C-alpha cells in the first residue's frame, strides 16, 4: 500500500490526538500541551492569539475533519510551537513542553521541505552541497538542505 506525504502527516497528527503521549528522541510529546495552549489563549474569546489558527477542531476532529490536510499543517505549525514556548513561562503545565515544541518544529520543517511550490524554495538540484550518499547531487530548501531535514526526520523514527 502506498500513501502520499500529506496523508502520512495526517496519520502522525491522528496518532497524537488518539494517544495522550508518545516518546520521541526529544522526549515525551503530550497531547495536553496543545490543549493547554488552546485553553490559555482563550480560544472562545475574541483576542490576539499567538497560535491564532489553533481551534477545538484541530484537537478533536470529527468525521471528515480527520482527513483535512490543512488542519494537520496548522496543528504542526511554527506559531503553535511559539505559543507553547511563550506560554510555558506563565503556565506550570507547559514547563515540560520542550519535546513537543521541538517535534512540532521538526514536522513543520519537513512539511515546508516537502510542500514547497515556488522555484526559490522548491526541492532542486544544487552543485554547492554534497548529498549524504556522496553523490554530486543534493537538494536545498531556503538555506537549509532538504535532504538533511528529511534525513533528520527519518533518523528520529524508530
Domain membership of residue 31 as a residue range: 5-115
Query: What are the distances in angstroms from CA 41 to CA 69, 84, 89, 92?
Result: 23, 10, 14, 15
Lowest mean pLDDT among 2-6, 81-85, 143-147: 143-147
Domain tally for the chain?
2
Q: Please indicate, yes or no, whether residues 23 and 71 belong to a single structural domain of this protein.
A: yes
Coil, helix or strand for 27? Answer: strand
User: How much is the average pLDDT of 61-78?
Assistant: 92
101 and 133 assigned to the same domain: no
User: pLDDT tens digit string along 96-109?
Assistant: 999 999 999 999 98
DSSP secondary structure code for residue 19 in this structure: S
- For 144, phi then psi, to 5°, come to -120, 135
Residues 131 and 109 reside in one and the same domain: no
Tell me the whole-structure pTM to 2 decimals: 0.74
Task: Answer yes or no: do 109 and 45 share one domain.
Answer: yes
Only one residue has cell 515546508, namely 112
pLDDT of residue 147: 60
C-alpha to C-alpha distance for 18 and 38, rounded to whole angstroms: 17
pLDDT at position 112: 85
Tell me: the pLDDT tens digits for 128-158? 444 333 332 333 334 455 566 666 666 766 5
Could you tell me if 56 and 97 lie in one domain?
yes
Q: From CA 94, how far away is CA 62, in angstroms rounded?
A: 26
Residue 127, pLDDT above cutoff 50: no
Amino acid at each position: 500500500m502506498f500513501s502520499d506525504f500529506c496523508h502520512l502527516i495526517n496519520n502522525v497528527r491522528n496518532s497524537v490526538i488518539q494517544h495522550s503521549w508518545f516518546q520521541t528522541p526529544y522526549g515525551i510529546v503530550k497531547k495536553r500541551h496543545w490543549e493547554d495552549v488552546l485553553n490559555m489563549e482563550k480560544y472562545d474569546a475574541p483576542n490576539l492569539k499567538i497560535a491564532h489558527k489553533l481551534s477545538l477542531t484541530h484537537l478533536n476532529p470529527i468525521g471528515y475533519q480527520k482527513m483535512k490536510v490543512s488542519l494537520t499543517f496548522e496543528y504542526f505549525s511554527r506559531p503553535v510551537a511559539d505559543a507553547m514556548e511563550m506560554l510555558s513561562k506563565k503556565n506550570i503545565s507547559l514547563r515540560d513542553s520542550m519535546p513537543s515544541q521541538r517535534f512540532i518544529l521538526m514536522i513543520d520543517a519537513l512539511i515546508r521541505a516537502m510542500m514547497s511550490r515556488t522555484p526559490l524554495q522548491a526541492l532542486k538540484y544544487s552543485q554547492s552541497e554534497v548529498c549524504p550518499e556522496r553523490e554530486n547531487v543534493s537538494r536545498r530548501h531556503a538555506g537549509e538542505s532538504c535532504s538533511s531535514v528529511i534525513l533528520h526526520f527519518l533518523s528520529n523514527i524508530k
